[in-house]
């Protein structure tokens, strides 16, 4: 849930990057961290295993400019993608304001994408959210790899409701900020409606 | 539905801040943080300015969420407190009014017993404040963000 503090004149919003294991959620956050001005970001925290797989979450606080005298701050989180960390994923979705689903474009990960997306929907429902009513974008990552599914096909399977979708190569940053901006915009637009 | 927005007004933050400041003095702790369960920092006292309070708040909330998950699995309602003992600094966490985490960082300058005693009093005061907040309408009567334009939002990303 977004948090408006009239005392410090701040708006805080929580964005969650969701998706199957090794789809590039952490890589998205790392790229954002590396390309953001030092004064606009906090420390990036990764709770990861020794093999650098996300164990609980990654966290990156970003501070955008001011809107109507209120400083807008976004807290970016990733979930652990591996199937057996489902209990942790549920916890991170608590209080979410917007979701980015990162899909792995490779042919052999199609099933994992579908399973993860279904898992997202179910876990949100458990928290009382409806994915179709939340600010939500999809990113098709790893477009530089040789065996990728055409975007039209990914879109047909993973994006039936036609939310904003972006092609990306998170390792080099292609599409990373476009995805973030689109999601942040949706969240702020919801705030305008009085969310 | 979008989750409801939590709104906190100046007067409420000021009252919470007063409790935190008083607790820092009474308990002789190094730092007091008042954090909501989603990891947003509400108030900080003591030497908080020397710390990365944003990261601390997020990790504390993650910690409490994980412990809450454990409670649920073993059918325990909630663990209302946690204590992490360090060589130099220890951390005492308490859940207040089911939605707020009161964090006390303390060192050899005080004792765990004194911290617990003073925290109990602070919790009573905080519970009263949050009970009053729960009574008032959560949505702002005047939505100051209703007038945000698309241009305002676009401007945030123009750098």
Q: How confident is the model at residue A64 (pLDDT cuts 50, 70, 90)?
A: confident
Q: Is any Cβ of chain A less than 8 angstroms from the Cβ of B7?
A: yes
Surface of A (79-138) touching B: CB under 8 A: 87-88, 90-92, 94-97, 128-130, 133-135
Residue with the bigger pLDDT between B98 and B148: it is B98
Q: Report how far residue B6's alpha carbon sits from residue B147's, in angstroms, rounded to the nearest whole number.
A: 19
pLDDT (0 to 100) of residue B142: 62
Instruction: Please state the pTM of the whole predicted model.
Output: 0.91
- Per CB-CB distance under 8 Å, the chain A contacts of B42 are 5
Give the number of other CB atoms < 10 A from CB of residue B108: 9
Average pLDDT on A145-171 reads 98
- Residue B129: its H or E element: helix B112-135
pLDDT (0 to 100) of residue B4: 63
Q: How confident is the model at residue B24 (pLDDT cuts 50, 70, 90)?
A: very high
Among candidate residues A74, A72, A97, the one with its CA nearest the CA of residue A195: A97
Average pLDDT on A130-141 reads 97
Surface of A (11-50) touching B: CB under 8 A: 11-12, 14, 37, 42-43, 45, 47
Question: What are A72-91's pLDDT values in tens digits?
Answer: 999 999 999 999 899 999 99
What are chain B's domains? 10-158 (3.30.450.30)
Q: Do B38 and A14 touch (CB under 8 A)?
A: yes
To the nearest whole Å, the CA of B74 is away from the closest chain A CA by: 14
Enter the DSSP assignment of B155: H
Q: Do B145 and A189 touch (CB under 8 A)?
A: no
Mean pLDDT of chain A: 94
Q: Is the pLDDT of residue A60 over 80?
A: yes
Q: Do A3 and B40 touch (CB under 8 A)?
A: yes
Q: Report how far residue A5's alpha carbon sits from residue B16's, in angstroms, rounded to the nearest whole number.
A: 13
Residue with tokens 């939310």: A163
pLDDT above 70: percentage of residues in chain B = 93
- Per CB-CB distance under 8 Å, the chain B contacts of A89 are none
* A57's tokens: 């979450």
């Amino acid at each position: 849930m977004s948090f408006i503090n009239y005392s410090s004149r701040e708006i805080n919003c929580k964005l969650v990057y969701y998706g199957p294991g090794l789809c590039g959620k952490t890589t998205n956050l790392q790229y954002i961290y590396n390309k953001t001005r030092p004064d606009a970001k906090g420390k990036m925290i990764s709770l990861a295993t020794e093999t650098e797989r996300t164990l609980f979450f990654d966290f990156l606080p970003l501070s955008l400019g001011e809107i109507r005298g209120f400083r807008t701050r976004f807290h970016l989180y990733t979930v652990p993608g591996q199937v057996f960390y489902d209990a942790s994923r549920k916890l991170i979705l608590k209080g979410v304001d917007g979701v980015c689903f990162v899909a792995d474009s490779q042919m052999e990960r199609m099933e994992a994408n579908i399973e993860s997306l279904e898992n997202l929907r179910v876990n949100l429902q458990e928290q009382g959210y409806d994915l179709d009513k939340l600010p939500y974008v999809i990113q098709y990552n790893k477009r530089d790899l040789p065996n990728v599914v055409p975007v039209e096909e990914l879109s047909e399977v993973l994006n039936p409701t036609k939310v904003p979708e972006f092609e990306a190569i998170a390792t080099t940053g292609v599409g990373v900020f476009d995805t973030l901006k689109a999601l942040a915009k949706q969240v702020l637009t919801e705030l305008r409606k009085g969310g | 539905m979008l989750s409801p927005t939590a709104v906190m007004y100046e007067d409420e933050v000021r009252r919470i801040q007063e409790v935190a400041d008083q607790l820092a003095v009474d308990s002789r702790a190094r730092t007091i943080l008042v954090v909501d369960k989603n990891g947003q920092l509400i108030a900080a006292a003591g030497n908080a300015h020397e710390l990365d309070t944003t990261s601390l708040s997020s990790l504390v909330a993650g910690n409490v969420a994980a412990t809450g998950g454990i409670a649920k699995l073993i059918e325990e309602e909630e663990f209302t407190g946690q204590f992490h003992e360090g060589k130099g600094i220890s951390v005492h966490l308490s859940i207040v009014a089911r939605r707020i985490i009161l964090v006390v960082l303390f060192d050899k300058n005080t004792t765990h017993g004194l911290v617990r005693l003073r925290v109990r009093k602070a919790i009573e005061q905080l519970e009263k404040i949050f009970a009053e907040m729960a009574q008032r309408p959560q949505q702002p009567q005047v939505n100051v963000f209703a007038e945000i334009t698309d241009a305002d939002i676009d401007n945030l990303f123009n750098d």
